[in-house]
Every structure is written in C-alpha cells, then in structure tokens.
A and B are shown apart, each in its own frame.
Chain A
Amino acid sequence: GQQVMQIPQYQHVQEGEDFTTYCNSSTTLSNIQWYKQRPGGHPVFLIQLVKSGEVKKQKRLTFQFGEAKKNSSLHITATQTTDVGTYFCAGGYSGAGSYQLTFGKGTKLSVIP
C-alpha cells in the first residue's frame, strides 16, 4: 500500500526557535495535506498543496511541495507555545476513480517557554 514517512517523530524547541517537519512518499502524490492535532484533540486540516513545487504560507507557517510531488515540508518560524501539538502530513492518492488519504506518523512538537 501507499506509505508516507515523516520525520522527526519528536521535536523539542525553545520558544522563538524555528521548527521543520519533513514528509516523504514512496509514490507520486496527487496532493499533500497537513493537519494539526492538539493534545487530546482530533486532527484539524491546515492546508493542501496540489502543484509541483508549490509553496504556501499561513502567518508563521510555510508549506512546500516537492517538484516530484513525493515530498513536502512544514516550517514554523519563531515557535510559540500555541504551536504545541502533533503535525501530520497526509498524502492524497487518486486513480481509477478512487481516492485515498494516507497519514504520516506525525511530528510531536513541544515548545519550552
């Protein structure tokens, strides 16, 4: 089946430091999505990237989609305590009239005040 690898598994940063998580798919993706899950909560959609080489920004968050549509990254500039949570990438695979969303294992971000 489809596999999405995400690293690192955990990241501890001092408040104000930057943070990056990386995602890699074994096969070409139709799209890549990013989700955030707060402790005790459920995954919440952040953004979707569709085009090769696409870059999108949401305030301090920058999302990139690789040229080959197999990898992606999420970068947070100057982390804040509100950024705490687990960030998941999810690879969208479509074909033959069906669609599947496969999640990476996530990167758990801790921010030390």
Chain B
Amino acid sequence: DAGVIQSPRHEVTEMGQEVTLRCKPISGHDYLFWYRQTMMRGLELLIYFNNNVPIDDSGMPEDRFSAKMPNASFSTLKIQPSEPRDSAVYFCASSLYGADLLWRAFFGQGTRLTVV
C-alpha cells in the first residue's frame, strides 16, 4: 500500500484565492482526519470523518474552510478565500477501527501551504 497520499506537497497562493487540498486515505480505512500544524498552535484537528460522514468539524477555523469526503478513497479540504494566517502544513491521516483496538493514525506527507 502506498500509504496516505496528499497533493499537492507544496502550494503557494495569493491572498483571496481558493485553495483545494486533496487526500487519498489508505484503502479500507474508515476514519479520515484533517490536521493543521503551525509553530504557534501545534497539531490541530480540523475535522474528521467516519465512513465518509463528517463527525466533528468543531476545529474548522471559520466558514472559509470546508471539507468533503465524496467517497471512501478521496477527501478535500478547501479554503476560500485564503488568507496569510492560513499558512501552515496540512496533514491528512487515516485510521481503521479494528477489533484489536489499535486505532493508529497513518499520516500523509502533508501539504505546505503558503498564502502571500
């Protein structure tokens, strides 16, 4: 398995532009998490899905952020319009609720977003 795949790896955009981050979770995993990492705030949970259904989006900063999971193999995180304070590394992670209780999260390589 190729692991969790995120694209793009790097994104530089101008303030006000729309940004879409993409994630392909590990096949068969039933949980998908979006995290944002900054020096100031650390690793923040933005939203997570279970079986493609959003369960908790309380970490989404504001209405400019939206996330979708149209099917089990794809999710997007969209920022519209983007602002400089959105600059961060965005990680997608997937996990499988298993009978062995091992709910380890597998992280993608992350997308480094810079908004200028």
Judge: A and B partners, yes or no: yes
Q: Does A88 lie within 8 Å of B91, measured CB to CB?
A: no
Residues of A with C-beta under 8 A to B59: 1
Chain B residues whose C-beta falls within 8 Å of the C-beta of A50 in the assembled complex: 101
Tell whether, in the assembled complex, residue B58 and residue A101 are in contact, meaning their CB atoms are under 8 Å apart: no
Size category of the binding interface on chain B: 20 to 34
**A31 proximal to B (CB < 8 A):** yes
Residues of A within 8 A of B50 (CB): 98-99
Instruction: List residues of chain A with CB within 8 A of the CB of B108.
Output: 42
Asked if A23 is at the interface of the complex by the 8 Å CB criterion, the answer is no
SS of B interface (majority)? strand
Contact A106 B48 (CB under 8 A): no
A-B contact count (CB 8 A): 61
Nearest Cβ distance between residue B101 and chain A, in whole angstroms?
A: 6
Write the B11-44 contact mask toward A (1 if CB under 8 angstroms, else 0). Answer: 0000000000000000000010101000001110
| Contact assessment for B42 and A101 in the assembled complex, using a CB-CB cutoff below 8 Å | no
Residue of A nearest to B112 (CB): A40
Taking CB atoms, residues of chain B closer than 8 Å to A66 are none
Q: Give the docked Cα–Cα distance between A84 and B50 (Å).
A: 34
Tell me whether B55 and A43 are in contact (CB under 8 A): no
A residues contacting B by CB (< 8 A) are: 1, 31, 33, 35, 42-45, 48, 50, 88, 90, 92, 98-106
Add 7 more A-B contacts to A88-B43, A101-B93 (CB < 8 A): A35-B105, A44-B107, A100-B48, A101-B33, A101-B45, A101-B103, A101-B105
